Amino acid sequence: MAPLVASLLLSVRSVPAQSATRDVLAQKVQELNDAMTRTQALLEKSQHELEEMRLQLSDLQRQIALGGPATAIPAASDASASTPAEPSRDSSDSNDAAIQDLRERQAIQESEIATQEQTKVESQSKYPVKITGMLLMNGFKNTGAVDLAASPSIATGGSGSTGATLRQTILGFDALGPHIFGARSFADLRVDMFGIQTGGASTSYSGYYASNSAFVRLRTAHAGLYWDRTQVFFALDRPILSPDSPTSLTATAVPPLAWSGNLWTWNPQAVITQALAPRGSAGVELQAALIDVGDAPLTPVVAPNSTPVSAAPSSAEQSSRPGVEARIAFDGPGRDDGRAHIGAGGFFAPHVSSLGRNFDSWAGTMDARMPLVAHLEFSGNFYRGAALGGLGGGGYKDFAWAPNPNTSGYYFRPLDDVGGWAQLKETASERLQFNAAFGMDNVFAGQLRHYYIEGGSPAQNLARNLTYVGNVIYSPSAYLLFSLEYRHLESAPVEGLPSASNIIGLGAGYKF
């Protein structure tokens, strides 16, 4: 800056005496000198800030290098190596130019940091894939006998059990694909370790389980296109008329309140969703779907005394007509799946059983999620229908049947069903929440009583299943979860006394 000041002084000496007095010129020189001093101080401050950013970026590079390969980030010193523009004689212009230059450099640095934070998994399509999931350990104490010790749904009567499992661990993949027809393509997949290993009626039912399960199991999957107001996708997921689920960290292999009012089973579906308001705004949403609903766990694969068929089609597939679902809802503002809503839905699917009888499954539903006072939230789903075993209701049954001793046929009746669940969630803070829920599934006892099976399994004679749940979930960080849960199961057969079990569950999860 000294040469610049000297140049200005030389210019001042060359000005004719008549143009201004020496004192006026000296004053102007002093003002310019002060302006340049301020500009120099500002540039030094900016250089100091850029040096701090460079050190932070270097530390970030080292952290990324410890977790895997990373693309080198240009050092801030390289970005600042260019010669700054000569300050203008106007001090305000010089300050504005320096500040603008600093902002541009900060924007470049932020962009480079954001690029480094994007962790990508290499895929054949070269589009980004993200691995998600949760390593989950569950401990349990059951005071009475249940259908499945690690994740019970009904009480069966008898002595209790104690144990722990990691088989409720979940692994997932999320992928974004190319734009097509003006929409963005997407896909996701979720699996767990609760697959079926051997025997029983459950082997023909993709959403059920066995006590000796030990294999990777496909849970849910989605693939489709989404526009601003429209989504079209294929899915293996819960019915669209049951969009919500109670909250639990100890019941993930079989969702909480399953077979107690939560229509949860994962079935293949083709879904279209149309919002009548811009995305993120409150408004009406319409949904429709075709569904290949599975058989209930207790549905016979083939008729008794007939030749077994390998991979026999389900009773819904035997009808040669798909099931249909529809739902209309009013959604509150927001873009996440947890926004407030009130909805009504319907379901219908024709069936042809292996007993040679036709029947229809159907349901009408209501669902809601709404905030209350003091961080309290209500959610729930309620239904009335028939033959709902394939959706997770009906006491594991679509219908009841018994041989007719006078003919070669069978007595047969689809079972009416009513049920639902409700939950109150108190979010005390971002790290702590409390949940209390109740669910019930009730087959009409007057219909089932005529098909009572002496000495049959608890599920065969099950008419009503109740579950009460209370839990607390604590998350000390975004990736760690701990939970303590109490659950009471009460399962009532159509004849005799109900069975009950109290379950104390512990959950510890690490999300990734």
DSSP line for 177-240: EEEETTEEEEEEEEEEEEE--S-SGGGG-TT---TT--EEEEEEEEEEEE-SSEEEEEEEES-T
Quickly list DSSP for 56-79.
Answer: HHHHHHHHHHHHS--PPPPPHHHH
Which residues partner with 482 through β-bridges? 474, 508
Q: Per-residue pLDDT tens for 82-103?
A: 434 444 445 566 667 667 766 7
Domain ranges, residue 212 = 129-511
Q: If residue 274 lies in a helix (H) or strand (E), which one and from where to where?
A: strand 267-275
In this prediction, residue 117 has a pLDDT band, given cuts at 50, 70 and 90, of low
At residue 128, what is the residue type? P
Q: Is residue 123 part of a domain?
A: no
At residue 222, what is the residue type? H
Same domain membership, residue 500 and residue 392: yes
Which regions of 309-357 does DSSP assign to beta strands (E)? 323-331, 341-352
Same domain membership, residue 143 and residue 11: no
> How many helices (H) and strands (E) are present in the chain, helices listed first?
6, 19
State pTM to two decimals: 0.73
Same domain membership, residue 269 and residue 136: yes
Which regions of 353-398 does DSSP assign to beta strands (E)? 358-371, 376-386
Which of 96, 117, 138 represents a domain boundary (last residue)? 117
Q: Is residue 288 part of a domain?
A: yes
* Sign of the four-CA dihedral 371, 374, 375, 376: negative
Tell me the CATH number at 288.
2.40.160.10
Q: Per-residue pLDDT tens for 473-496?
A: 999 998 999 999 999 999 999 999
Same domain membership, residue 139 and residue 106: no
Question: How many domains is the chain partitioned into structurally?
Answer: 2
Same domain membership, residue 167 and residue 109: no
As a residue count, the chain comes to 512
Same domain membership, residue 73 and residue 173: no
Same domain membership, residue 239 and residue 97: no
Q: Per-residue pLDDT tens for 368-382?
A: 999 999 899 999 999
Same domain membership, residue 42 and residue 104: yes
Which of 49, 82, 117 represents a domain boundary (last residue)? 117
In this prediction, residue 41 has a pLDDT band, given cuts at 50, 70 and 90, of confident
- Pick the closest to residue 363 from 374, 377, 348, 381 (CA basis): 348
Same domain membership, residue 62 and residue 197: no
Q: Per-residue pLDDT tens for 181-202?
A: 999 999 999 999 888 654 443 4
Which of 67, 83, 117 represents a domain boundary (last residue)? 117
Same domain membership, residue 205 and residue 70: no
Mean pLDDT of the chain: 83
* Sign of the four-CA dihedral 204, 208, 209, 215: positive
- Pick the closest to residue 101 from 120, 83, 122 (CA basis): 83
- Site of tokens 């079926």: 196
Same domain membership, residue 140 and residue 69: no
Backbone angles phi, psi at 35, to 5 degrees: -65, -40
Which residues are CB-contacts of 111 (< 8 A; sequence separation ≥ 6)?
A: none
Backbone angles phi, psi at 445, to 5 degrees: -65, -30
Q: Report the distance separating Cα 123 and Cα 21, nearest Å.
A: 77
